[in-house]
A and B are shown apart, each in its own frame.
Chain A
């Protein structure tokens, strides 16, 4: 019994490490967002609502206060301008004037932008961190979700295939 107590740290750590490995996406059987496989959630904020979304498209959650969002911005611009991908933006917990200043400074890759001042749409989309990107298919069903800034790798490996390209 006493021995088991000394095994406890190892057991807890093993569970944690396994979890981190899954979280890292190193596992092909990665556990997806609960939204994947369902139609886009019902939401309506200033400038954007569920009915406006026309798949196939990306829904990108961003904010002017979010530094990683700046990091992924050139990729979104590339996707919109060079690949012709429709991208809808939701400015999460952000004032419209700040979000607009952000887009004026870096360029606007979005077809439409919704201003989610109090994070209400973020709750519907199950946002856990900004930025997040959802892929919708032609029937507006969520087929993929990426948390964190997009990288060229994720775009090539996950986003474009999920968009059917």
Chain B
């Protein structure tokens, strides 16, 4: 019965979304107050209905109601409660419902917190948001009903892919979707601004918090996904340039560009039509990602729920949303007018450079991701694209932006002083030279570039703070007063840049200084890696809640003294008939010791793979710092969602 209730709630939500997509727009055009007010109520209603539907599906999973087809296909009564819960979104139908839940949540938030907005703008944003919602609700109801029943119900479910039964992955989709869907608000703001024909300072100020929230979610979600890949897939790598990873990385790049250009739009009225374009682009790339992951046009190690029939529907959604928005852009954007002029060397100039690099990088990733499709169409044959392509194109592209990153925040608006900025960054330059020199001493040119860049950016962010505080030049009281007066957005921006520095250091060190050892070991055998001695003590059979595992005991010795015990596992899930490897990781936050076991061979012994990955944890620490930066920035008074704002009369057009 609850499944039918959920289905019914979804259908009702579609009805409300359709109303909200049409009537308020008409009301805003004609100045009909009642029709405009409708949008806020329907937005809240949609969220409540979506929450009911999501609750109904969750109940079916928790109580293992196998008469619901999606539950029967993706769950199992022996699965731990946590994975029965996360199983809700571990498949196509449920993940769409999660998408809808978050979409309507954002709609409701615009309705509640957006009361300070110009009424017509708020109403139009909500209408566009409802158009997107209608598309996804119709998609779910017509092609991927999560509440479809099976008769007769199976005795037990088919289980969830064991690779996905993991705490890291449990929270990866909600964070990622929060990011993807959050960008829909920026998209709706862009389309609403094009309908209104005006992009003013207030508009840019309102777009930024939504983008910041979405960006924080995306950053954390991508980091969590790569962390999962690192410890679960057992390859010791953290990023594979897989189509599914790229699908989340492209919106992230576009959203990063949008965050920066929106600053220029807000503060200087510059780059306005460009900001609108980026807002459309960022969400379009989210949609494209959904298409790539779900349609089966590309194959991927993560591919789940691919189905060409559904692909047509998502492509249609993408065509209407993005095609419509770009058409509107071509028609209305020329009238938005050019911004205030600025010199190439200025804060605006630095932001333009940032945007050019990020958008080009994004295009490179897009090209690399869609390459297999292009190849087929071009009859070019016989080329394989993979990590080498991205290493050769993406890395050199981003390198100059890393150098500019420390300088940009030091430049003044409109016309900056490059020599002065570089002069004030002498400490960062010194740090970069020391880091690069140290890496060169190990004979690693790439490491010198990477670590040099990391030191440059990180110290650059610190120098920028010190400059703002007049640290070392003003008395302590003055510094304290300044520290309190600096807007949170400035703290947040610096923190995010600091996070980038940490990530760059982590990636560089783990790529250049990784040690790897693959060998067959018998109980009692020892191996040496990066100054540690690893002794294989044997393997025991252990029983998990829904798996059997071989658990090896590897003693880690440092200078002959025991330092740790690593217990990597090789699990077998009988329901899904699948093996997984569970890496054992000992981290010092400066380096990871990483062990995976393979099969046991009577003669040769057990295959053991050992890795020593320096600075790898920094990749995720840095990502967390970046996301924190966004949250700090989000708490800025100027941007705070519910901050009282002068009420404007509804413009009667």
Instruction: Mark A residues whose CB is within 8 Å of B.
Output: 2-3, 6-7, 9-10, 13-14, 16-17, 19-26, 31-35, 65-68, 70, 97, 101, 105-106, 119, 122-124, 126-131, 147-149, 151, 153
In the bound complex, CA of A119 to CA of B599 (Å) = 24
- 8 Å CB contact of A148 from B299, B312, B370, B577: B299
Instruction: Kindly list chain A residues whose C-beta atoms are within 8 Å of the C-beta of B379.
Output: 31, 34
Instruction: Kindly list chain B residues whose C-beta atoms are within 8 Å of the C-beta of A3.
Output: 330, 334
Question: Is the CB–CB distance between B326 and A24 below 8 Å?
Answer: no
B363 to chain A, nearest CB (A): 10
Instruction: Kindly list chain A residues whose C-beta atoms are within 8 Å of the C-beta of B322.
Output: 13, 17
In the bound complex, CA of A33 to CA of B380 (Å) = 9
A20 and B302 contact, Cβ closer than 8 Å, known pairs A9-B326, A25-B308 = no
Some 17 contacts from A to B, beta carbons below 8 A apart, are A3-B334, A6-B334, A9-B277, A10-B329, A13-B322, A17-B318, A21-B312, A24-B311, A33-B376, A34-B381, A35-B381, A67-B302, A70-B578, A119-B384, A129-B372, A147-B299, A148-B298
From B47-55, B71-79, B289-297, B450-458, the one touching the partner chain is B289-297
A23 and B381 contact, Cβ closer than 8 Å, known pairs A13-B323, A101-B599, A149-B306 = no
Name B276-296 residues within 8 Å CB distance of A.
277, 280-281, 284, 291, 295-296
A19 and B374 contact, Cβ closer than 8 Å, known pairs A6-B329, A67-B302 = yes
- 8 Å CB contact of A128 from B277, B333, B375: B375
User: Contact size class for B?
Assistant: 35 or more
In the bound complex, CA of A29 to CA of B312 (Å) = 16
A7 and B330 contact, Cβ closer than 8 Å, known pairs A19-B374, A101-B599 = yes
Question: Is the CB–CB distance between A21 and B315 below 8 Å?
Answer: yes
Question: Is the CB–CB distance between A23 and B599 below 8 Å?
Answer: no
Q: Is B527 an interface residue (CB 8 A)?
A: no
- When C-beta atoms are compared, the residue in chain B nearest to A97 turns out to be B599
B481 to chain A, nearest CB (A): 47
In the bound complex, CA of A19 to CA of B372 (Å) = 12
Question: Is the CB–CB distance between A148 and B323 below 8 Å?
Answer: no
B474 to chain A, nearest CB (A): 48
Question: Is the CB–CB distance between B308 and A129 below 8 Å?
Answer: no
Instruction: Kindly list chain B residues whose C-beta atoms are within 8 Å of the C-beta of A147.
Output: 299, 372, 376
In the bound complex, CA of A33 to CA of B577 (Å) = 34
In the bound complex, CA of A32 to CA of B329 (Å) = 36
B151 to chain A, nearest CB (A): 20
Instruction: Kindly list chain B residues whose C-beta atoms are within 8 Å of the C-beta of A124.
Output: 382
Question: Is the CB–CB distance between B312 and A128 below 8 Å?
Answer: no
In the bound complex, CA of A126 to CA of B308 (Å) = 22
Q: Is B652 an interface residue (CB 8 A)?
A: no
Q: Is B427 an interface residue (CB 8 A)?
A: no
